[in-house]
Structure 1
Amino acid sequence: MPLLLLNVNRLSAVFWDVDGTLADTEMDGHRPAFNMAFEELDLPFVWDEALYNRLLAIPGGLRRVKLHAEACGVALSQHQLAQVRDRKRFHYLERVRQGHVQLRPGVKRLLQELSRSGVQQWIVTSSGSASVMVLLEQFQQQIPCFDGVVTSDDVAAGKPAPDGYLLALKRSGANSVASLAVEDSAAGLSAARAAGLRCLLTPSPWDAEALRDSVGEATAVLDHLGDPGEPATVLSGASCQEEAVTLKYLETLLSVPDR
């Protein structure tokens, strides 16, 4: 019986991060939501863009709050952290519903192209299910449905642990050799690589410096995915002749020797 070989040049699945990858959620969504929660709970913190930029190196919103509070000499109880989580979630969901959060360049276009081509598309995020669902609801008229969603509620450890990606690979049945992750952060890149996935990195503008030492681990790095009139710039990896990430470009990345 002849041996069937996997065509690794045909893309099987794309696993998408959410915050900073699908949409610009951080500066106009999460950051002001945290600030509103801090004010409501009489906590002495205000996160401006420069500070929040630095804090983004800490994966996980509540861990970010806890460590920042400790650095300021404030010990928050578990009850206080739970209050911050609940109030921040409320304000974030409201901001998404009000249209403060927008898709990043090229995301809508690429999602639609991959959907038409029958490529599986999954979300793998360290955010909670509620935050993800309201975001998808907001954009449901613009983007196709995802084949599956893995959030922080589904795994014991968030990024940079690979748990989310490993679970998505298991649920999707996709072969890691013929799949890619799309990420924007060092933690996300580490998680994808630890799960055996090649990773296309589109760093958020405010996170580019923090990612400098991680670029060598990514299969390619672009400033964004590209749209008509808004060409993508390759920062590392294979050249992108069309100045936009397409299915063809992603399949080109599958043939790049893994690092």
Structure 2
Amino acid sequence: MASSTTVSLALPPFPSTVASQEPKTYSVATFSRTHESTSSSSLLGTRICVSRRNREISALGMGRSRGRGAVTCSAATAAALPSALLFDCDGVLVDTEKDGHRVSFNDTFNEKELGVTWDVDLYGELLKIGGGKERMTAYFNKVGWPENAPKSEDERKAFIASLHKRKTELFMALIEKRLLPLRPGVAKLVDQALGKGVPVAVCSTSNEKAVSAIVSYLLGPERAEKIKIFAGDVVPRKKPDPAIYILAATTLGVDPASCVVVEDSGIGLAAAKAAGMKCIITKSGYTADEDFLNADAVFDFIGDPPEERFDLAFCGSLLEKQYVS
């Protein structure tokens, strides 16, 4: 009969994703002496795996190479699965903002001779506003509308819609040419979820056509036909409002509390948490310095082996709420 052992780990200070600055001792759940037993406990967004066979201990999620930062445990410890895996699009599936959407906005402004250019820093500020049409409207309301823009509110709404339509066409051309690659680990995590029968959806403030193009061209048609897309004006209020995530859970017929969201921004995190869902942050170029204290876990990216940061088993572990102090 297998005996049991309880161990305590004296860990160094965690990275910035964990608030504590002092070394602490964390008690790891009891595990059995088998040929290769693994126990795990998630604490403050960081997961620990202990392997009895090679006695390796990793504070996972710390961004180490050769798998030392990877959140992977044996299948025996990862029985829980999310009821749905929900991805944001821009910055999560593809790092599209700086060299994709921003460039397409500027090309549109140039075509329409508006005399407007959004530089890298300005666009980073504008990303705090969810939705491209909303972003342009807020910008023009603040700095003044172009001389050749309409004067009435209704005409301006139509004007903004026409700009956004053209911007979307230019952006889709970039995607179709595959000039913007998927972020590391996205296809892996999607395949793991679909392979386990976990519904996958993309929930984005971006135009539905643009999101569909990213999913179809970059993830491929076989995956795309299994992925539900919620995007653009499908809800009246965009992130940080939780409407799009609530719609996704309702449509998929799942409990929001058992959904796991992958986001990259503060407004996306706020939307996911307001919907009552678990949320993992994968930082993107524009969001690396944002405040993610409410996130369930924070990583630089999802990652593929040997640079894997987390997997589907880790997503499921977040639902177990096994926090140890």
Taking structure 1 as the reference length, the TM-score comes to: 0.84
SS of 1:124's partner is strand
Identity %: 32
Once the two structures are superposed, what CA deviation does each residue of 1:27-75 show, in whole Å capped at 9, x if it has no partner? Answer: 2211111011000111121122222122211211122112222333336
Q: 2:183: which partner in 1?
A: 104
Counterpart-to-counterpart distance in 2, 1:250 and 1:143: 23
Native 8 Å contact 1:8 1:177 kept in 2: no
Native 8 Å contact 1:219 1:256 kept in 2: no
Counterpart-to-counterpart distance in 2, 1:95 and 1:46: 19
253 and 225 in structure 1: CA distance in 2 versus 1, 3 angstrom threshold? same
Listed as ranges, the matches of 1:49-60 within 5 Å are 49-60=120-131
SS of 2:128's partner is coil
10 and 83 in structure 1: CA distance in 2 versus 1, 3 angstrom threshold? closer
Once the two structures are superposed, what CA deviation does each residue of 1:77-125 show, in whole Å capped at 9, x if it has no partner? Answer: 3343123112211111111111122111110111111111111111111
Q: 2:108: which partner in 1?
A: 37
State whether structure 2 residue 281 is matched by structure 1 residue 250: no
Q: 2:202: which partner in 1?
A: 123
Taking structure 2 as the reference length, the TM-score comes to: 0.68
What displacement does 1:137 show?
2.1
What displacement does 1:164 show?
0.9
Counterpart-to-counterpart distance in 1, 2:287 and 2:222: 25
SS of 1:161's partner is coil
State whether structure 2 residue 146 is matched by structure 1 residue 69: no
**Mean alpha-carbon deviation: is it higher for 246-255 or for 189-198?**
246-255
Unaligned runs of 5+ in 2: 1-77, 150-155
User: If each structure's strand is expressed as a fraction of its own residues, which one has the higher value?
Assistant: 2
Unaligned runs of 5+ in 1: 1-6, 232-242
Match for 2:104: what amino acid? A
Match for 1:220: what amino acid? A
Counterpart-to-counterpart distance in 2, 1:51 and 1:130: 25
State whether structure 2 residue 212 is matched by structure 1 residue 133: yes
Q: 2:31: which partner in 1?
A: none
Match for 2:300: what amino acid? D
Counterpart-to-counterpart distance in 1, 2:107 and 2:94: 21
Match for 1:61: what amino acid? G
Native 8 Å contact 2:212 2:229 kept in 1: no
**Mean alpha-carbon deviation: is it higher for 27-36 or for 41-50?**
41-50
- Runs of 4+ in structure 1 displaced over 4 angstroms? none
**Mean alpha-carbon deviation: is it higher for 32-41 or for 158-167?**
158-167
Counterpart-to-counterpart distance in 2, 1:98 and 1:43: 27
Q: 1:114: which partner in 2?
A: 193
Counterpart-to-counterpart distance in 1, 2:320 and 2:299: 18
Match for 2:216: what amino acid? E
Q: Bigger radius of gyration, 1 or 2?
A: 2
Counterpart-to-counterpart distance in 2, 1:177 and 1:18: 21
Task: Supply the RMSD in Å over aligned alpha carbons.
Answer: 2.1
Q: 1:238: which partner in 2?
A: none
Listed as ranges, the matches of 1:153-172 within 5 Å are 153-172=233-252
Counterpart-to-counterpart distance in 2, 1:67 and 1:156: 17
